[in-house]
Amino acid sequence: MWCPFCNHTDTRVVDSRLTSDGFQIRRRRECSQCGARFNTLETAALKAPNVIKSDGSREVFNEDKLRGGMLKALEKRPVETQEVERSLRMLLRRIRTLEEAELSSQQIGDWVAAELSRLDQVAYVRFASVYRRFEDVQAFREEIERLEAGRPGTLDRRQMPLLREAGERED
């Protein structure tokens, strides 16, 4: 591995440890030329399946798109970073361990929606509105009512209700 400080190609590993999630190895390296120390992360190189888009085209699975979509839906929501990372790792493991060479974008979207539904209802509705292409306010209302009917009594108390009860006034 080359040194990021002096570009010398001879560095040695001083220490190796598993990261806290156990999916990477953190290596502490030292340059034999300049003596600088730096860290590297090593992960397993797994081949992810190709994604079949809704228009029939195919593209290589892109982890950044998955992460970006989830983070955009969760933006400014009270969800801990550890929970988001745990969900992302679970989704990535699920995708990478498939025995199929191809996977539909719809299947990935369904898995992401299920994870977001578990993490945060508002993030789920945000994602679903784009993923399912809501065209009017009624589509939002129907999805919110379906979500609330499916999980009575399990609402996260950090969140306000998505819809007001009948007869309830706005303050």
Q: How far apart are CA 138 and CA 134, in angstroms?
A: 9
Would you say 157 and 122 are in contact if contact means Cβ atoms under 8 Å apart? no
Q: Is the pLDDT of residue 122 over 90?
A: no
Q: How far apart are the first and last CA of the chain?
A: 62
Q: Which of 17-26, 47-56, 80-89 has the lowest mean pLDDT?
A: 17-26
Cα–Cα separations (whole angstroms), residue 130 to 16, 73, 136, 163: 43, 10, 12, 20
Question: Who's near 68: CB < 8 A, 6+ residues apart?
Answer: none
Backbone angles phi, psi at 141, to 5 degrees: -60, -45
Question: Who's near 27: CB < 8 A, 6+ residues apart?
Answer: 13, 15, 16, 39, 40, 41, 42
**How does residue 155 score in pLDDT terms, banded at 50, 70 and 90?**
very low
